[in-house]
Amino acid sequence: MGPPRLKKYATKVGALYTVSESMLSGSQQRIAWSYVVAAVLSLIGLGDALYLTVQDLTGQHLRCTIISGCSEVLSSSYAHIGSVPLAVLGAIAYFTVFSLAILAAFGYQLARPLLAGLVVVMFLMTLWLLYLQAFVIHHFCQYCLLSAAVTITLAILVLIAARRAQPAATQ
């Protein structure tokens, strides 16, 4: 048996529902879990980007424990846009992904294309930064590689979520 129907309560403004009918109807009744996973994953990227930002702004030496090359990558001219550390832009992007993914998970349709667009831009930027590390700087940073892994996984998750939502939208 489905959820019980909610009663309408008359008010001066109109009909007031205890829970929005639109949130209980059709495909919006369930949480889109792929977007929730994307939100949680974006928090990993956010933590990574914030760590790199703090290290850069405080001038602390970053220690690579898995591979060597963090200092070379993070002290290169590609690590900043003007005086702004690239990690700050990453932190903003990951926070925005988190926010949009939560909204998308709970059925806010406008958040989904915005999220997809942002993740595409992040994915393309990740490919560019991986190219720079491999062929220009000739060193890799483990924190940058973690961010790349998070972004690539986010791109896959958002693509899967968009494909799942597409048939529901056409019905």
Residues 70-114 have pLDDT tens digits of: 999 999 999 999 999 999 999 999 999 999 999 999 999 999 999
Residue 44 included in any domain: yes
Tokens standing for residue 165? 């939502």
Residue 11 included in any domain: no
The range of the structural domain enclosing residue 161 comes to 31-170
Q: How far apart are CA 18 and CA 69, in angstroms?
A: 57
Q: pTM for the complete prediction?
A: 0.80
Domain with residue 95: its CATH number is 1.20.1440.130
Q: Taking 90 as the threshold, does the pLDDT of residue 35 lie above it? A: yes
The number of domains in the chain is 1
pLDDT of the residue at 5: 54
pLDDT of the residue at 167: 61
Residue 9 included in any domain: no
Torsion, Cα of 17, 112, 50, 76 (10° steps)? -170
Express as a percent the part of the chain with pLDDT over 90: 67
pLDDT digits (tens, 9 = 90+) for 44-58: 999 999 999 999 999
Residue 81 included in any domain: yes
More confident residue, 30 or 108: 108
* Residue whose C-alpha is closest to residue 40's, from 102, 104, 84, 83: 102
Chain centroid to Cα 63, Å, comes to: 26
Q: Taking 50 as the threshold, does the pLDDT of residue 136 lie above it? A: yes
Confidence of residue 165 (pLDDT cuts 50, 70, 90): confident
**The amino acid at 141:** C
